[in-house]
Amino acid sequence: MATIDYIVMALYLVGILSVGFVLSKKVKSSGDFFSAGGRSPWWASGLSAFMTMFSAGTFVVWGGIAYERGLVAVSINLCYGVAALAAGYFLAGRWKNLGIDSPAEYVSLRFGKPALHLYTWTMLAFRMVGVAVALYALAKIMVALMPLGEGVPFRDPVTGNLALHWAVLLFGLVVVVYTMVGGLWAVLMTDVLQFIVLTLAVLFVATMILLKAGDAGASVQQIPENFLKPTSGEYGMLFLAGWAAIHFFMIGAEWAFVQRYLCVENERAAKKATYLFAALYLVSPFLWFLPPMVFRVIEPGLDKEQAYILACQSVLPVGMVGLMAAAMFSATASTVSGQLNVFAGVLTQDIYKRLMRPGSSEQELVRIGRMVTALLGFALIGIALMVPRMGGAESVIVALTSLIVTPLLAPSVWGLFRKNTSLGHVFITVSICFMAGLVTYAVKNELLSLPSGFLSEWANWVRRHGQSTDVLVGVVLPVALLLLLDLSTFKRTNPGWNRVVSHEPEPIDSAGTDPGRMPAYIVAGGMGACGLMMLGILPFNQEGRGMLILFSAVLLGLAAATLFLVRRTERQDEVQERRGVDKH
């Protein structure tokens, strides 16, 4: 990267931190810190949920599949949109209508304290390690883009680039600081800004890569066979159906997503937020994966995991590489900040307040929430720094997470609809599915030897149909178990159901939570800053100036239009207020 790229990246990081400190003024209570006082705009919640699905793996893993196999990468990511549509229709409004402060409160009411501890510590362990791996993957991508000169203290003497441990520490601290200071308001609004930066960068890359393909004389005849088919090999229709089902439970019940349904004002807003999330995932994958797919035609035979980065570097002008690096940071930062805030909320409100100090004041809870966020953040950074010593940790964590998340979340969803779902159902489903998943994983990776005969034939079938086995164990088995358990206790009503139905939400001191027009101003400011930045890098580029000017004009125009609409709405509100005063 050139000097101007580092300047762009630094300005982005400073801007994100500034948003966190500005939004700290909105944090007056624990409700503000962990649920935005229930006053988040629906579009901010939807965009935040959309960004929560991203990480560096979106570009590395799915970008690699797009480069190697083509359209199937789009099909896989479209499953998120299908899952979000179903979650919005069946679950989002139902969560909001419960009158709970957090998903952990629902678990405690519905299934009791043992389930709260099971969910809290199991999900915390898996998510912390999983997010740490994502932070490590981000750092690996970033150091490849960031060579440093001799004598720079953060330089790796072997590669000449930014040292990996410094990258993990730097990017991890930025996310921890703005999440700790601004709480969920900071998470939501930085996610919106990150959405703007990410979309801008990917739009620019997609446009430029198509122009590059035209200049290179690429033709349809150069497209690999089966490259434009929606399924490929093990990624067949059964896998796609299972992938959509798994993510229905994830988007519908994982705590980071449930938090997005709870932070808006009402049921209708919760559904609209989820439908926005779904709509974006039903359209945007075609845009994201266009660069590596086109780059495959231009430059075949490259390392698939580096395809997205190489495609970007091949077309981006000076300065825009820094913006793309910022976009990749944004993708992972959204995941990290969302998980930090939701688990800090669980440990503060559902463990510290309800189980340890029921009489805690709001100021004390905000202070404890910030301390817990910092501690979780430092633990996250520490785990990320240890990833190189774990040897294949990423594949293990991804596999185990896929095996435990659906069995853990499916009973939670089941309990929203069925009166008889109990703590026993939770433990039976989790324990059986987890053991089945461990055995399947061991057989697939030949870590477990089985005697000849039926078991040996079964093991061979598992190895031949790996993705199908994951669907059976990860989706079909937990749903089948819950159905059997439901039938065996059909006429019973679990006491947890009555606790949830009769639950009265606690009043929240939310004097500082009314966002007013603040979210719209932040969006307008973010678009305007990006537009000005693109004008600022014009002198450093001889090629691609027309495209830079076009993108800058569009962004500045959108920013101006947003400000105009906000000011007009404010004037209309002022007129209505004066009329109300005159009537009295």
Q: What's the pLDDT score for residue 36?
A: 63
Percent of the chain with pLDDT over 90: 15
Q: What's the pLDDT score for residue 206?
A: 86
Mean pLDDT in residue range 13-31: 71
Closest CA to 509 of 32, 34, 35: 32
Lowest-pLDDT range of 107-111, 156-160, 294-298, 504-508: 504-508
Is 393's pLDDT higher than 50? no
In a domain, 406, yes or no: no
Beta bridge partners of 405: none
Dist. CA 491–CA 382, nearest whole Å: 49
Q: What's the pLDDT score for residue 280?
A: 92
Closest CA to 402 of 394, 392, 390, 411: 394
Q: What's the pLDDT score for residue 11?
A: 82
Domain boundary among 387, 405, 432: 387
Dist. CA 245–CA 531, nearest whole Å: 40
SS3 breakdown of the chain: % helix, strand, coil, rounded to 5?
A: 80, 0, 20
Beta bridge partners of 264: 40
Tens digits of residue pLDDT in 417-469: 999 999 999 999 999 988 888 888 777 767 667 677 666 777 777 777 666 77
Q: What's the pLDDT score for residue 301?
A: 80
In a domain, 443, yes or no: no
Dist. CA 243–CA 373, nearest whole Å: 31
Exposure b/e, 436-446, CB count within 10 A at least 16 = b: bbbbbbebbee
Closest CA to 71 of 229, 218, 280, 290: 229
Is 263's pLDDT higher than 90? no
In a domain, 107, yes or no: yes
Closest CA to 508 of 28, 186, 20: 28
- The helix/strand/coil state of 373 is helix
Lowest-pLDDT range of 64-68, 382-386, 461-465: 461-465
Mean pLDDT in residue range 163-186: 78
- The helix/strand/coil state of 155 is strand
Q: How confident is the model at residue 220 (pLDDT cuts 50, 70, 90)?
A: low
In a domain, 322, yes or no: yes
Closest CA to 38 of 234, 386, 270: 270
pTM value? 0.81
Cα 101 to chain centroid, rounded = 21
Tens digits of residue pLDDT in 525-556: 888 888 888 888 888 887 778 878 888 888 89
Dist. CA 44–CA 273, nearest whole Å: 8
Closest CA to 63 of 277, 285, 283: 285
Q: What's the pLDDT score for residue 94?
A: 92
Lowest-pLDDT range of 68-77, 295-304, 342-351, 387-396: 387-396
In a domain, 483, yes or no: no
Residue 526 sits in which domain range?
516-584
Which domain CATH number covers 42?
Answer: 1.20.1730.10
The listed range with the strongest mean pLDDT (81-90, 96-105, 553-562) is 81-90
Is 89's pLDDT higher than 80? yes
The listed range with the strongest mean pLDDT (32-41, 85-94, 222-231, 573-582) is 85-94
Q: How confident is the model at residue 182 (pLDDT cuts 50, 70, 90)?
A: low
In a domain, 115, yes or no: yes
Whether 20 and 193 have beta carbons less than 8 Å apart is answered as no
In the chain, the N- to C-terminal Cα span, in Å, equals 64
Q: What single letter denotes the amino acid at residue 46?
A: G
Is 560's pLDDT higher than 80? yes
| DSSP 8-state class, residue 274 | H
Q: What's the pLDDT score for residue 411?
A: 93
Mean pLDDT in residue range 262-274: 90
Whether 351 and 109 have beta carbons less than 8 Å apart is answered as no
| DSSP 8-state class, residue 506 | P
Domain boundary among 340, 368, 387: 387
Q: How confident is the model at residue 580 (pLDDT cuts 50, 70, 90)?
A: low
For the beta carbon of residue 189, count every other beta carbon within 10 angstroms: 30
| DSSP 8-state class, residue 264 | B
In a domain, 481, yes or no: no
In a domain, 283, yes or no: yes
Dist. CA 255–CA 276, nearest whole Å: 19
Q: What's the pLDDT score for residue 450?
A: 67
Q: Where are the alpha helices (DSSP H) in 289-361?
A: 290-298, 307-315, 320-345
Lowest-pLDDT range of 150-159, 284-293, 314-323, 426-435: 150-159
Domain boundary among 357, 387, 417: 387
pLDDT averaged over every residue in the chain: 80
Residues 6+ apart with CB under 8 A from 338: 48, 52, 187, 191, 256, 259
In Å, how far are 44, 182, 509 from 260, measured between CA atoms?
9, 16, 20
Q: What's the pLDDT score for residue 123?
A: 81
Q: Per the structure, how many domains does the chain have?
A: 2
Q: How confident is the model at residue 18 (pLDDT cuts 50, 70, 90)?
A: confident
Which comes out higher in pLDDT, residue 520 or 389?
A: 520
**Structure token digits, residue 584:** 């009295």
Residue 334 sits at the vertex; the CA angle it makes with 57 and 239, to the nearest 5 degrees, is 40
Which comes out higher in pLDDT, residue 98 or 2?
A: 98
Q: What's the pLDDT score for residue 273?
A: 93
Whether 417 and 110 have beta carbons less than 8 Å apart is answered as no
